[in-house]
């Protein structure tokens, strides 16, 4: 069941009341400040002010926010990849971003934190997992802040006497604990030879012809499928479930020979409210947090436009590899598609029957239920008979293609998953004009 997040009226009142009692203090930061010096300044401000929000900004317009209460950091946001980072937080919790449906047009600044609160209250996530996700989010933001320390010009501190809001955890770590961890990760990153690059840049092969001559065929296939320019270094590390520094070290042999370049990549578009919603600040009761199932929609047939063009077609990808699902999200969501990824084929069937997607990708080889079997079961549902289904496999053989057609698959696509193939097969079966995400500001510390 998708989570529909409605901001309780009481939270709106808290935000408005706190805003009226806030005072803002400005702390200038000399250009060229070191990460260590900036870390000390942040700690001193938070310890002195107890409750509030720090806003750190560079001359180029980059901004970050640190929320704190009782002298401890409880949330962090901002930066060039706010929504990519939010998607990584959800993936860490095994939550598909497409399952989060926001029904409010106006949201508090720290709405991501409130969504985690709702999921925790509804027992969709465990408290320990929520804590881990929040800590990961805060540490990542602090990493970016410390890396940008020489360019930060000022710190604005909005002090309030009220709490930031309802928190999944009453108190998180002290500024010293978080900053120490972020500083350690930054040093590890710098020691890999990547000090001049932001992990928010996207790795891409400089020359495919040269790369093929330097590495084995299998290495080329693996690298070409991942380093497409659609995933940031952080995205790649998250999809592979490995530390950022470990990924950087694995790239050293490629960067030394200039086989890999790094380029800016736009953020994922901000989430939009579901259609037909209104501002519920005055109409919802104070404790109102609702979660209603998404209304069923008529399946899209080949050559037909999506039923909800404002949100884009809903694409479902069922693959037991979390990396495949992650790559699909990064390819399609910036273009306006909704993407729901699942690893359990048994659970996927009931979700597909309920959500009625516009397009389905099915992995051929999965535990318990194969892609063929799942495709056959989907085709038994009358409302899904014409929904495009594409089988994914690393074995692109004639026999597999024939069998795929026999169980009702619309098409067949080989692995590894690459953007060009994914977009080509979607264009063949759906009538939809993808949107182009605009860049939100400076995209890294180093040029491509």
- Are 87 and 234 a contacting pair, CB within 8 Å? no
Q: Which residues pair with 54 in a beta bridge?
A: 66, 157
Mean pLDDT of the chain: 79
Q: Give the per-residue pLDDT at 264.
A: 93
- Are 175 and 30 a contacting pair, CB within 8 Å? no
Decide if pLDDT at 97 tops 90. Answer: no
- DSSP code at position 344: -
Q: Give the per-residue pLDDT at 138.
A: 95
Q: Give the per-residue pLDDT at 274.
A: 61
What dihedral angle (degrees, nearest 10) is formed by the CA atoms of 272, 273, 276, 278?
A: -130
Candidates 82, 135, 69, 324; CA nearest to 222 is: 324
Decide if pLDDT at 146 tops 80. Answer: yes
Q: Give the per-residue pLDDT at 432.
A: 87
Band of the pLDDT at 168, cuts 50, 70, 90?
Answer: low
Band of the pLDDT at 19, cuts 50, 70, 90?
Answer: very low
Q: Give the per-residue pLDDT at 38.
A: 94
Q: Give the per-residue pLDDT at 199.
A: 95
Determine the Cα–Cα distance for residues 201 and 235; give it in Å rounded to an integer: 10
pLDDT in tens, 366-385: 887 888 899 999 999 999 99
Question: Order of strands, edge to edge, in the sheet holding 359-363?
Answer: 338-342, 314-318, 359-363, 389-393, 411-414
- Are 341 and 326 a contacting pair, CB within 8 Å? yes
Question: Phi/psi of residue 267, each to 5°?
Answer: -70, 160
């Amino acid at each position: 069941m998708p989570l529909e997040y409605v901001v309780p009226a009481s939270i709106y009142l808290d935000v408005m009341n706190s805003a009226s009692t806030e005072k803002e203090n400005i702390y200038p930061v000399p250009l060229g400040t070191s990460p260590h010096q900036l870390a000390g300044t942040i700690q001193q401000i938070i310890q002195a002010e107890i409750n509030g929000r720090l806003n750190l900004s560079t001359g180029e317009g980059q901004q970050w926010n640190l929320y704190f209460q009782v002298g401890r950091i409880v949330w962090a946001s901002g930066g060039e990849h706010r929504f990519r980072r939010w998607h990584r937080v959800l993936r860490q919790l095994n939550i598909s971003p497409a399952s989060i449906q926001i029904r409010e047009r106006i949201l508090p600044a720290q709405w991501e934190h409130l969504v985690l609160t709702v999921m925790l209250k509804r027992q969709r996530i465990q408290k320990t997992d929520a804590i881990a996700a929040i800590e990961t989010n805060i540490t990542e933001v602090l990493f970016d802040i410390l890396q940008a320390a020489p360019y930060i010009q000022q710190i604005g501190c909005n002090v309030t006497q009220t709490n930031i809001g309802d928190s999944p955890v009453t108190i998180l770590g002290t500024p010293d604990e978080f900053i120490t961890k972020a500083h350690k990760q930054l040093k590890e990153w710098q020691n890999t030879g990547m000090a001049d690059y932001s992990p928010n840049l996207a790795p891409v092969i400089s020359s495919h012809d040269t790369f093929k001559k330097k590495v084995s065929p299998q290495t080329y296939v693996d690298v070409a499928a991942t380093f497409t320019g659609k995933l940031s270094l952080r995205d790649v590390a998250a999809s592979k479930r490995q530390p950022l520094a470990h990924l950087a070290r694995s790239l050293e042999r490629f960067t030394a020979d200039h086989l890999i370049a790094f380029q800016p990549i736009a953020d994922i578009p901000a989430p939009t409210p579901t259609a037909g919603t209104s501002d519920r600040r005055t109409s919802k009761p104070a404790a109102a947090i609702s979660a209603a199932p998404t209304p069923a929609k008529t399946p899209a047939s080949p050559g037909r436009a999506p039923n909800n063009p404002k949100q884009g077609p809903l694409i479902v990808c069922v693959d037991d590899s979390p990396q495949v699902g992650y790559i699909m999200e990064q390819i399609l969501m910036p273009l306006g598609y909704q993407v729901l990824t699942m690893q359990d084929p048994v659970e996927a069937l009931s979700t597909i029957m309920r959500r009625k997607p516009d397009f389905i990708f099915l992995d051929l080889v999965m535990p318990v239920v194969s892609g063929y079997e799942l495709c056959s079961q989907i085709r038994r549902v009358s409302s899904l008979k014409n929904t495009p289904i594409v089988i994914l496999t690393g074995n692109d053989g004639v026999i597999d293609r024939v069998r795929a057609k026999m169980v009702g698959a619309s098409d067949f696509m080989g692995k590894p998953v690459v953007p060009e193939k994914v977009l080509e097969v979607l264009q063949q079966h759906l009538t939809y004009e993808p949107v182009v995400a605009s860049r939100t500001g400076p995209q890294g510390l180093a040029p491509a």
